[in-house]
Chain A
Amino acid sequence: MAIKDYIRERFFPHMWCPGCGHGIVLNGMLRAIEVLGLNKNDIVMVSGIGCSSRISGYVDFHTLHTIHGRALAFATGVKMSRPELNLIVPMGDGDALAIGGNHFIHAARRNIDLTAIVMNNRIYGMTGGQYSPLSGYGVSATTAPYSNIDQSFDIVELARAAGATFVARTTTYHVQELSNLIQQAIVHKGFSVVEVMSQCPTYFGRKNKEGGPADMLKRMKDMTTPIGSKAKQSHTELIERGIFVQKILPEYCSEYAGIIERAMKGH
């Protein structure tokens, strides 16, 4: 199937701003699904609130557009009640890690087989450019007019510490890597996290004088490096990309199937 077979074409052109990284994530995710050849009836996409979460409206799967920060909790209910379905949960950085931070770490801890894609553009776009827990110290936002004093999370380290069994990071510049990592995350049995550094030219870019979409993509190329590269040794400020965690541990729904078996036998 072509990637157009996976979208709801009647809603295009989509609502995102020109040059928004979220469209590139959508693009890469669709290619991942196309390569895997998944049946559309077997995919449930659950999203929360924000620019990123509108992605669910554009794809021709079972789509559940929920409330702010809670997508993983809804997805947990869907997955546990129908473990054979593929659950993909795209979230924004604020959605996943501010209001939804608790659900994020607990879904990771359970190692439930969900694919969490964090579209990290370091800003609240839908509400007009407020700082998020990923904005970082010193950036400018509509709620940080004197510059931001909040330190940011490292999504990879957070996901690793919380128990996610697949953790990867890439950017919207590295589109082949993006598609490839999402592919592996979907296939992975357990809680998988893909952080995609994404650009918001409209708010983050403008507020922080990072130029247009192409300039922001170039910055992503320049500020990142593959895990274990030589460049990292001489330029420690570089952000690493690639797969950070990939391990097999008991998955939650499989474990619960064991509980059912024991309960039915009378322990």
Chain B
Amino acid sequence: MGKSKLIKHIINRDWCKGCGICVEFCPQNVLELDEQDKVRTTRPESCIGCKLCELRCPDLAIEIHIKE
């Protein structure tokens, strides 16, 4: 698997309600909740672009853009 992907995390802080689902199920521990209980990307370089956070977000607050 080539590491040629360019992955961009777009997080809509206004929509995020801080439920923590994305953080819990991220297979690479890329995400965490900040002091305001909003999700943020702390280890973007580890992201494998599986998009599970985007798919599981109940608030439609995460978009993962992948450029091959």
**Which A residues have a C-beta under 8 Å from some C-beta of B?**
3-4, 7, 12-14, 16-24, 26-28, 30-31, 172-173, 175-176, 179, 201, 212-214, 217-218
Contacts and interface: CB of A to CB of B under 8 A. Distances in A.
Given A3-B60, A7-B60, A27-B60, A19 B20 contact: yes
B57 interface: yes
Interface string B21-45: 1011100000000000000000000
A28 B55 contact: yes
Given A7-B60, A13-B14, A23-B57, 5 more contacts: A13-B16, A18-B58, A27-B57, A214-B19, A214-B25
B52 interface: yes
A137 B14 CA distance: 39
A23 B56 CA distance: 9
B48 to A, nearest CB: 15
A212 B25 CA distance: 13
The 8 residue pairs across chains A and B that have the minimum distance between CB atoms: A23-B58, A19-B19, A214-B24, A18-B17, A175-B55, A18-B19, A13-B15, A213-B19
Contact of B58 (A3, A4, A21, A30): A21
Contact of A175 (B14, B17, B52): B52
A24 B58 contact: yes
Contacts of B15: 12-13
B63 to A, nearest CB: 8
A30 B60 CA distance: 10
Contacts of A212: 19-20
Describe A's contact surface by its main secondary structure.
Answer: helix
A16 B60 CA distance: 12
Nearest to B17: A18
Contact of B56 (A16, A18, A24): A24
B18 interface: yes
Contacts of A31: 55
Contacts of A172: 56
Given A13-B17, A18-B19, A212-B19, A23 B60 contact: yes
Given A214-B24, A214-B25, A217-B25, A13 B19 contact: no
B58 A22 contact: yes
A173 B25 CA distance: 10
A96 B5 CA distance: 44
A201 B25 CA distance: 17
A211 B60 CA distance: 22
A238 to B, nearest CB: 20
Nearest to A17: B17
A124 to B, nearest CB: 19
Q: Most chain-A CB neighbours within 10 Å: which of B15, B16, B21, B25?
A: B21
Nearest to B16: A13
Nearest to A179: B55
Nearest to A175: B55
Contacts of A173: 56
A134 B64 CA distance: 35
Contact of A27 (B19, B24, B25, B58): B58
26 contacts: A12-B60, A13-B14, A13-B17, A13-B59, A16-B58, A17-B17, A18-B17, A18-B18, A19-B19, A19-B20, A19-B58, A22-B58, A23-B60, A24-B58, A26-B60, A27-B55, A27-B57, A175-B52, A175-B55, A175-B56, A213-B19, A213-B21, A213-B58, A214-B19, A214-B24, A218-B24
